[in-house]
Amino acid sequence: MARTPCCDKNGLKKGTWTPEEDRKLTAYVIRYGCWNWRQLPKYAGLSRCGKSCRLRWMNYLRPNIKRGNYSKEEDDTIIRLHESLGNRWAAIAAQLPGRTDNEIKNHWHTNLKKRLNQNSNSSSDQSKEKSEDPSHHETSQEGESKLNNDHLDITSLQILESSSSSPLPSSSDQFSSIPLDTTGVIRSTESIVEHHKVDTFFEPYAAPSSNFWTEPFLADNSYNFNISNDFLVPFTDPEYVPVHSPFFDGDMLCPFI
């Protein structure tokens, strides 16, 4: 799944994200939050449009993302919700912690839809057989709708902490305990540190060259520190008072859902 990188007319990069771009975006959002997606790439040192950054963050980089390894429970939940909500992928994703609308949408089109079709075919075959049985008056459609109606009451749905029931570990396990408030907002960098082993969390972002931290962000020298030492200080030193984004005078605001 990668697209060949290219540039559009405005010189903004399109296509596949490189690990370096991922590092920049992740580091910036973690540090300053997503205060304005349109402006963000400029300050994060990315030649991307804000929309692309947002999408990359929301669908791939943000914490608590689970990738692949759909459990049976998750599949069932998606099927039930799709039956009642239709193609409202964001609404469906909201019921599945760690899953993105994009991923669910893809999963639906590539797996579940086919499976459902197969099932409905086989059930219609069954109902054909049953229709020959005078004791069965239910059409396949009725049977299907009955099946679905069993799950129509969304409010009664148990929101699955399906990650825990998933048989295979997901790639987001390292993020699974980032504390979010009820709106999915990360409230402080300390809270991240508190709940993470910082070294493993930032390992992927430990760029070999120090200019990763000095080049992309700001002219403000206060942000120029070296990844190998200084960067981790804010996350490891309990005395550290986080520096807020110069563009947002307050807590970091970043929807992690």
Question: Applying CB under 7 A, which residues contact DNA?
Answer: 1-4, 8, 13-17, 34, 36-38, 48, 50-52, 54-56, 58-60, 67-68, 87-91, 101-103, 105-107, 109-111, 255
- Does residue 196 contact residue 178 with C-beta atoms inside 8 Å? yes
Residue type, 6: C
Largest CA distance in the chain: 83
Closer to DNA by CB, 60 or 223: give it. Answer: 60
- Spatial CA neighbour of 97 closest among 165, 46, 40: 165
Tell me what percent of the chain is helix, strand and coil, each rounded to the nearest 5: 50, 0, 45
Query: To the nearest whole angstrom, how small is the minimum distance from the Cβ of residue 8 to DNA?
Result: 6
The two three-digit tokens of residue 142, written as one number: 């009725």
Closer to DNA by CB, 30 or 232: give it. Answer: 30
Query: To the nearest whole angstrom, how small is the minimum distance from the Cβ of residue 14 to DNA?
Result: 4
Secondary structure element (H or E) that encloses residue 213, with its range: helix 211-214
Query: To the nearest whole angstrom, how small is the minimum distance from the Cβ of residue 194 to DNA?
Result: 25
Where residue 220 falls (left for φ over 0; alpha for ψ -120 to 50; beta otherwise) is: beta
Closer to DNA by CB, 217 or 256: give it. Answer: 256
Query: To the nearest whole angstrom, how small is the minimum distance from the Cβ of residue 37 to DNA?
Result: 3
Q: How buried is 234 (Cβ within 10 angstroms: 0-12 exposed, 13-18 middle, 19+ buried)?
A: middle
Closer to DNA by CB, 74 or 101: give it. Answer: 101
The dihedral over CA atoms of 225, 228, 229, 231, expressed in degrees to the nearest 10, equals 50
Query: To the nearest whole angstrom, how small is the minimum distance from the Cβ of residue 4 to DNA?
Result: 5
Query: To the nearest whole angstrom, how small is the minimum distance from the Cβ of residue 10 to DNA?
Result: 10
- Spatial CA neighbour of 216 closest among 21, 81, 30, 73: 21
Closer to DNA by CB, 87 or 236: give it. Answer: 87
Closer to DNA by CB, 179 or 255: give it. Answer: 255
